[in-house]
Amino acid sequence: MLAAMLRSVLLAAVVLAACRASTSAPPPDATAVVVSPVDEPAGVAPAVEAPAPAPAPMPTPTHRLTPREPVPLDAQTTLRVEDVVIESIEPAPDDAERQPGGTGLDVTVVLQRGAHELRTVLTRLSVGYSSHPVGWLEDYRITLLDVADPHRAAKVALVVERVTEQDADGPPQRLRVRKGQEAVLDDGTGLTLVGHSHKRTMAGQRSPLVVTVQWREPGREPASQIRNLGPDDDDMRWTWRDLVVTVDAYDYDEWMDLTITRRALARVESSP
């Protein structure tokens, strides 16, 4: 009898201990590994991908020209659109990826000073083709923006800028050009030294250095330029469009070391 009562008391104590143990938190697992939700060092914010830069806004045109109607740029100079040609480009039958179908506009612009005329063709072509919307006419840079209603009454939007005497922002470029080898400027323009020569002079006179070079713009025909430099050492420079080219040193008919700077451009606004 007494033994049975002792067993009952012991059983109740075991049940009570089990109940108390169940209400406490279980011990941590010694093998557990805590993983950070972001694989970055402590205190470092996760990298955020920068948004793509917004496209540059379209400049405001300085001129809106109707074909064959000249407008004055200065007292001696006029500008006109000679014609607007609408292109239809057929895809290549054997390789449409290399030559896809497309469309385009060719705009011929003419600068006139007295009887002297210069012309350039500006293009806007569809995706897959290289457009050439910028052209130079002496010291004027012409940029084609758009052509409104090209099929009936074309109105050509242009930006006309002229080279000034002020220096443009940016450091000069220094390079060596060797005879017959093209050197490339920062903007992709190529410059080749064709050769050196001298002019015949009177007895006792110093002959200037005659420099013949060739300029090449991407997608354009090369343009030749001949300049007489010197004979004084401080007169060894010449200009081409917005570039000022200074000869720092040279080996006759072999190479030239050049410093090239740019002049600023100013917009030529149309008359009201």
User: Which residue is it, tokens 């323009």?
Assistant: 189
Task: Check residue 53 and give its pLDDT.
Answer: 74
Rounded CA gap, 66 and 80, in Å?
A: 8
Looking at every residue in the chain, the average pLDDT score rounds to 83
Is residue 210 a contact partner of residue 197, using CB atoms and an 8 Å limit?
A: yes
Rounded CA gap, 233 and 248, in Å?
A: 9
Task: Check residue 46 and give its pLDDT.
Answer: 61
Cα within 13 Å of Cα(37), Cβ side: 1
pLDDT, block means (10 residues), the chain with 272 residues: 44 42 44 46 62 78 96 94 92 75 93 94 90 95 96 96 96 97 95 92 77 93 94 85 96 97 97 76
AA letter at 9: V
Task: Check residue 23 and give its pLDDT.
Answer: 44
Q: Where are the domains of the chain?
A: 63-91+101-162, 167-265
Is pTM beyond 0.85 here? no
Task: Check residue 233 and give its pLDDT.
Answer: 67
187-220 pLDDT, tens digit each: 999 999 999 998 776 666 778 899 999 999 988 8
